Every structure is written in structure tokens, then in C-alpha cells.
Amino acid sequence: MREAHPSERAVGIDHYVSDGDGTGGKFRTRPADFRVRELETGEFEPLDADPDAYPHLVFRVTLENWDTNDFASALSDKLGMSRERIDWAGTKDKRAVSTQLFSVRAGSDVLDDIDLHGATIDPIGRAGRGLRFGDLAGNAFEIVVREADTESVAPITKSLQAFAGNEDENAGDANGESGTTVGVPNYFGQQRFGSYRPVTHEVGLAVVRGDWREAVLAYVGRPHESEPDATREARAFVDREAAAAGTADWAAALDRYPRQLGFERSMLHRLVENGGESSDDFRAALETVPSNLQRLFVNAAQSSLFNRILSARLDRGLPFDRAVAGDVVCFADSEAPDGLALPDPDRSQRVGENRVETVNRHTARGRAFVTAPLVGTETELANGEPGDIERAILDEEGIDPSMFDLPGEFHSTGTRRAILLTTELSIEDDPLTFAFRLPKGSYATVLLREYLMSDPVELG
């Protein structure tokens, strides 16, 4: 296996499946080169339904070059309400054309006069509750890579066919023109941790360890080479103040911080108010950011541990497409859209030595999936060699499941996640274009990285 880029290894992604050269190419040269559409679940009441019984307006939005959080903030400003009142099912990348669902507790005409450049808003119905993160089956993608070396496509596709569990590496169309099933490790992509400055997992790991000061400093300090000079200088000042003896000058740090870094400035502002000396002071600073970002910190910590577990499994040569004794598998969601393999982590089973063959008949048919933990308070680790891997990674990080018993939005009970990501992939040349569907929570860039083998910053 080929070694991953250093920035990927920093978040637990150690390998590529294929040994060959990648296609390279230019990615996201324009937003329309990355199109993503949510695969929706369920139906909603009509727009004229009783607003007392169905108080939430659900609307479909097509965004061009909008970050999901930024759009929610801009919309809430237009509506004159808190951003916390706007909900969505999944976060999308900025440099893209994305179609996704939002909801807001408001009347059906509240969006009639809203005009935001690059956003097309279409109210579609009403619901008894707001959307929750994960209220979708998955996403459909169409992604263009320009100036790519397409000679590498066929050998990479053959490697990914084999990784998906095809016994015959020549099965299907190696060029992917007519569609072929491929598989990759179900890593959390670089975006989970910050595409240009991957630190959210470091913040989350500090939170889990109860080191609130370190969590704040990881977010507001630690300059990254990809950032503008003014931002690097502001972060470096925070690092110097934190390292100096005595009380840091948080007011001076705030004065140096660029205005556009609102989350960092809100943390520093709170430290100016409370003095920034005790652990409670730093926790209060971290809690100034929106609740979804607070959850993201801990989720990113869980994700980095998950990635490391997958990389260790690859190192040991254990299969991803089938179970071994000690594994925990989950079963397919029976309500998933046709043709979409959607694991249901709430329906899981431990695999004893005497059950391996039976379980693997289900994995071969796409009815069961080998899993690894997103560690939380209710996590029960696997047995056998898979369990040894999980325990070794947690021990290296000094993490125990009980440590996720945290206050407020930081608390997490944990779950499990499939370790293999499979999809029916279609590929076209000139320009190189990939079309595929993924279950919710999986990353398009995790598949694309296997083809491009580019610096993850270029994948965004």
C-alpha cells in the first residue's frame, strides 16, 4: 500500500489502497465541478398544513459557493432570528453546487421575500419537528477533475474492485464507464478536521481529557502555513502569551485577531471577560461557539480515533469486506433507497468463531457490514484481534469510553460505523468525471483521493 500524505496521517489516514500513481488533475476549479444532492428520506405535510401541529417549515435549497453554516447565518440575519432556529440534515462543502434540506420554525410565507445571491430557496412542506443532523439517506455526487492523467484510472479501479470484495479483479468495467462496484476504507475525510488547518480533532481530544485550556489554545493558537500572515501572527501571539509566565493578555490577543475569525474572537472575548485563568474560564470560552461546532469538536476526536483504527486494521492485513472472529457487524437499513447500501449501527451483532461463515454470507450480499467504534460512553469494544486494535489505539491516546461523559453539547454516547465504503461508480473521460452515491456520513473525497492521490488541501 502507498503511504498517505503527512497531513492525512495527522488525522489517522495512513494509506492508499492502490500502489500505483494517481491521476492528479485540478479539482473544484469552479463550483459547478462539484455537484452534490441530498438523497432525502420521508415525506412532509403540505405547506398549508396547520402550523400549530406542524410548526416547522421545510425548504430545499440549491447553493452555489456557499458553506452550510455561512448560509444559515446569512439567512438568520435576513429573517432577524437566531441561527440556532435554523436546522439542516447535512453539512456541505462551500466550493460546490449543493442541493439540501433546511427547516425553520416559522410560517410558510417567511421566505417569500428572501433574496441571497447564489441561493435558490424552494419551500416544500411542514413538519412537526425541525430537521436533525443525519435526516437523510445519503448524497449523490457528480464531480469533474480537469487536466487529469486518465491512464491511471483502470488500474486504480481494479484495486478498488478487489478491495470491495470482488474475487475476480477483472470483474465489471475497470474504466467504470458502465458502472462498477468499488470499495475504499470508510475514513472520515480531511474536511472533518479542517481542510486547511486540521485542528478540530485536537480540540476534541483535549475536551475529552478534560483539558479545557488546551482545547481553547488549540483552536485560537497554533498558526498554520496555509493561513494569511495576519492570522498566523495573531495565533502566534496567543501561543506566546499562553507560554509566558503569569496571566496571558487576552485583550491584546483579541485586538490582534482579524475580524473575520468570529469564533476565535468570541472565545477570546469571553477570556477577557472572565480573566482566562481557571479551567471553568476556558470551558466558558469554548461554549461561546454554536452548539453544532461544540459537538463537532468531540465528533472530530471520535473520527480521528476511528481513522487510526482503520489504518491499523490495514497494517495488520485484516479484511474490510468480511468479518473475522471478534468483529462487530451491523445490518443494512431496510428503509434505505433502492441501490444504496445504508448501514444501521443500531442493529449490531458480535461475531463469534462459530458465526463467521454465516455472517459473511450476509456481508457478501451487502446485508451486513463490519464496523469500528466512534467511541462514547456506551461503547463496547470488539473482541479478538479487532478488539486488540481498538484498545491499543485508545491506550495510545490515553482515552477511555467513560471520558466522553461530558457536560452539555460535548457529551457523546458513541456509536459504530461501517469500515468499508462501497458504491456503484461511473466514470467518464474528457474531462474526467465521477458519478456515484454514498450513504450519509461518508465522504466523496475519501473515494476521490484514491484516484487523484493529491495533497488533501487540493481536495478541499
Catalytic residues: 93
List the one residue out of 448, 380, 445 whose CA is nearest residue 416.
380
Tell me how far apart the alpha carbons of residues 393 and 268 are, in angstroms, rounded to a whole number.
33
Where are the strands (E) in 351-419, listed by range? 368-374, 415-418
279-285: long-range contacts at Cβ-Cβ below 8 A with a sequence spacing of 24 or more?
279/210, 279/212, 279/213, 280/212, 282/212, 282/213, 282/215, 282/216, 283/212, 283/407, 285/216
Q: In angstroms, how far is CA 246 from the centroid of its own chain?
A: 38
C-alpha cell at 286: 469554548
Phi and psi torsions of 342, nearest 5° = -115, 105
3-state secondary structure of 159: helix
Tell me how far apart the alpha carbons of residues 421 and 441 are, in angstroms, rounded to a whole number.
11
Q: In angstroms, how far is CA 99 from the centroid of its own chain?
A: 17
Tell me how far apart the alpha carbons of residues 81 and 460 are, in angstroms, rounded to a whole number.
31
Tell me how far apart the alpha carbons of residues 420 and 371 are, in angstroms, rounded to a whole number.
8
Q: How far lies 186's CA from each of 322, 440, 445, in Å?
A: 14, 12, 11
